[in-house]
């Protein structure tokens, strides 16, 4: 009798644990708070357009949340180290093209991306998050596109660094030298930005002008 009781209790507990795990997985697909319970350092996403439910077309507004960008993996919650998300961002995480395609699944219709496939950044393995900080917690008004003309002089930022040119010279070292000369484009003064002339998302010309 006692043995049967413990056997039934054990089965009940296992079923309860299984149900809880499945419910938690289902919630994670639509509720970012499930993900943030572990990924606390990514909470800034809730302050961006991607995390705002009131933003039309955002992952949060269509009930997909984190899985819209990172893909779905039902085993991740129970064993995150052994079961990583299909889509991960950063150098060497997964192939650059796969990282870019995750962004393009929503942003491909943007007119600034019309020449992305033929652009030099695309063919030099530049990732979207090399320039854009999707998870950052920016100040008010910071969600303006990087091609905004007065980005460097207005209260805007699309990366974790304040001025647009600082993002560009992270790779374009030669430009850092040029803008430090006595005679230079007034980039560091905030009177002109790199994207005033160049489209970082691609163009038909060699210099992406």
In this prediction, the residues of the chain whose per-residue pLDDT falls under 70 are: 1-30, 137-162
Helix (H, G, I), strand (E, B) or coil at 148: coil
Amino acid 10: pLDDT: 52
Amino acid 146: pLDDT: 45
Helix (H, G, I), strand (E, B) or coil at 116: helix
Question: What is the DSSP code string of 166-208?
Answer: HHHTTT-HHHHHHTTSSS--TTTTTSS-GGGT--TT--SSTT-
- Residues shown for the chain: 209
CA atoms of 164 and 52, how far apart (whole Å): 24
Mean pLDDT, all residues of the chain? 76
The pTM for the full model equals 0.69
CA atoms of 103 and 96, how far apart (whole Å): 11
> pLDDT, tens digit, for every residue of 23-65?
444 444 557 888 888 888 888 888 788 888 888 888 888 877 7
CA atoms of 68 and 197, how far apart (whole Å): 33
């Amino acid at each position: 009798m006692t043995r049967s009781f413990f056997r039934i209790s054990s089965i009940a507990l296992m079923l309860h644990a299984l149900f809880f795990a499945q419910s938690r997985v289902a919630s994670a697909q639509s509720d970012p708070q499930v993900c943030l319970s572990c990924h606390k350092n990514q909470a800034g996403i809730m302050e961006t357009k991607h995390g705002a439910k009131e933003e039309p077309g955002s992952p949060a507004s269509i009930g997909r949340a984190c899985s819209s960008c990172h893909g779905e993996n039902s085993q991740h919650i129970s064993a995150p180290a052994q079961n990583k998300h299909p889509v991960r961002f950063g150098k060497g995480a997964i192939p650059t093209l796969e990282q870019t395609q995750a962004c393009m699944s929503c942003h491909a219709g943007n007119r600034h991306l019309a020449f992305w496939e033929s652009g030099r950044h695309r063919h030099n393995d530049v990732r979207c998050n090399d320039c854009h900080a999707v998870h950052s917690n920016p100040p008010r008004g910071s969600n303006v596109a990087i091609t905004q003309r007065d980005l460097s002089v207005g209260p805007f930022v699309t990366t974790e660094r304040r001025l647009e040119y600082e993002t560009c010279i992270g790779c374009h070292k030669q430009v850092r030298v040029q803008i430090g000369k006595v005679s230079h484009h007034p980039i560091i003064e905030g009177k002109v930005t790199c994207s005033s002339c160049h489209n970082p998302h691609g163009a038909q010309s060699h210099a992406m002008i």
